[in-house]
């Protein structure tokens, strides 16, 4: 029995698929089933994993995120300014 793979790739043209990782198969004809990925599945990551990584990258570069208290204070000030 032959090995089979389930991997992701990018459909670059109507006839060219670029795989995300190499496969250890000899050059030959293969069967391919294509299915579009949901946005949160692209690049092998979930949306939440992408957000966590982006946040960690920003933090490592010195970005200061606002605290919950700072955000709550801004919301209160905006509500007061509108008379709520």
- Is residue 1 domain-resident? no
- Is residue 40 domain-resident? yes
Q: Which contacts of 44-52 are long-range, i.e. CB under 8 A and separated by 24 or more positions? A: 44/8, 44/20
Q: In angstroms, rounded to a whole number, what is the distance separating the alpha carbons of residues 60 and 12?
A: 34
- Is residue 27 domain-resident? yes
Overall number of domains in the chain: 1
Kindly report the pTM of this predicted structure: 0.41
- Is residue 4 domain-resident? no
Which residues constitute the domain of residue 26?
Answer: 9-81
Residue-wise pLDDT tens digits, 15-61: 888 888 888 888 888 888 888 877 666 665 667 777 888 899 999 99
- Is residue 20 domain-resident? yes
Q: In angstroms, rounded to a whole number, what is the distance separating the alpha carbons of residues 61 and 78?
A: 30
- Is residue 64 domain-resident? yes
């Amino acid at each position: 029995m032959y090995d089979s793979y389930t991997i992701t790739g990018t459909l670059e043209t109507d006839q060219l698929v670029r795989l995300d990782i190499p496969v250890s198969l000899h050059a030959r004809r293969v069967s391919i089933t294509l299915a579009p990925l949901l946005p949160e599945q692209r690049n092998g990551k979930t949306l939440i994993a992408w957000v966590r990584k982006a946040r960690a990258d920003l933090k490592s570069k010195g970005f200061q995120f606002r605290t919950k208290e700072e955000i709550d204070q801004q919301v209160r000030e905006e509500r007061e300014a509108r008379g709520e």
